Amino acid sequence: QVKLVESGGGTVQAGGSLRLSCAASGSIFSINAMGWYRQAPGKQRELVATITSDSSANYADSVKGRFTISRDNANNRVNLQMNTLQPEDTAVYYCNADRVVSGSLAYLELWGQGTLVTVSS
C-alpha cells in the first residue's frame, strides 16, 4: 500500500521560511506528477505548486517568486521551500501524487494527511 507522509509544518512569523517534505512509501514503480495543495479555514482546497517527473513546475500566482517546489525521483519525495511567508499562507498543506504505479496496483491520485502551517503577523 502506498502512502504519502508529510513533514515540516509549524508556526513562523511573517517574512520567515519553512520547508515541507513529502515522501511516498511503499514499492513504487512510477509517479506522474507530485504537488502541494492547501486549505485555509473556511476556504476550498487550492493548488500551490506541482512538478512533473521531468521537473516541470507550475505555481499558483499567489506563491510565485516565494515558493520553490523540487522533486527527488529516486526517493519518491517532493519538497516545498516557502520563503517570505505571509499570514495569508496559513493553511493545512496537503501533498498530492498523481498516477502512481505500485506493483500490480495503479492509483489515480493519492493525498497525504496534511500538515499545518501557521504564519503570525
pLDDT digits over 6-32, tens only?
999 999 999 999 999 999 998 898 999
**Where does the pLDDT of residue 103 fall: very low under 50, low under 70, confident under 90, or very high at 90 and above?**
confident
For residue 71, pLDDT beyond 90: yes
What type of residue sits at position 89?
D
Average pLDDT (95-99) is 96
Residue where the block lists cell 511503499: 26
**β-strand pairing of 115-120 with 46-51:** unpaired
C-alpha cell at 22: 513529502
Distance of CA 64 to the CA centre of its chain: 15
Nearest to 6 by CA among 93, 110, 67: 93
State how far the Cα of 121 lies from the Cα of 110, in Å rounded to an integer.
33
**Where does the pLDDT of residue 1 fall: very low under 50, low under 70, confident under 90, or very high at 90 and above?**
confident
State how far the Cα of 83 lies from the Cα of 72, in Å rounded to an integer.
20
How many other CB atoms sit within 10 Å of the CB of residue 54? Answer: 7
